[in-house]
Amino acid sequence: MKLDPELKLKILEKVGVYSQRFSISEPVILLATKEVLDAPKEMTEGRRTSAYKYYGVSYLQHNLVFINVRKIPDEKTLENTIVHELIHMRFPYLAHGKRFNKLVRQGLRGKTFSPYAKRSKTSSF
């Protein structure tokens, strides 16, 4: 796909909608390999120079997602990639596999995930 202002806006809107549904803070979105290479090295460490190979990459520690728009062939793949990367953000402990793919499918169908319950240090049982 070719990145233009209209597509960029559409991507950012989708990221906002899905972030809200998944109860995560909206990540910073990079849409070109050059943006990955221009980012501070500590933010993109691990998949800095290989990011161009993938449709998307999540940099969990920095709440950063790269969507490789130039590599993505169509809108369906784009939406799937956005949801896939945001599921990584929502469930950082979960590796690719059946459960992960099920969560992506649920996300694409509109499922809402409630926020993580944070335990209070003063709570008693």
Q: What is the pLDDT of residues 33-57, one digit of tens each?
A: 999 999 999 998 888 878 889 999 9
Q: How confident is the model at residue 90 (pLDDT cuts 50, 70, 90)?
A: very high
When pLDDT is averaged across residues 46-71 and rounded to a whole number, the result is 91
pLDDT reading at 116 higher than 80: no
Q: How confident is the model at residue 83 (pLDDT cuts 50, 70, 90)?
A: very high
Buried b (16+ CB within 10 A) or exposed e, 71-88: bbeeeeebbbbbbbbbbb
Which fold, 5-108? Zincin-like (3.30.2010)
* Distances from the Cα of 116 to the Cα of 4, 31, 109, angstroms: 36, 28, 21
Q: Identify the helix (H) or strand (E) that includes residue 64.
A: strand 64-67
pLDDT reading at 123 higher than 60: no
pLDDT higher for 15 or 51?
15
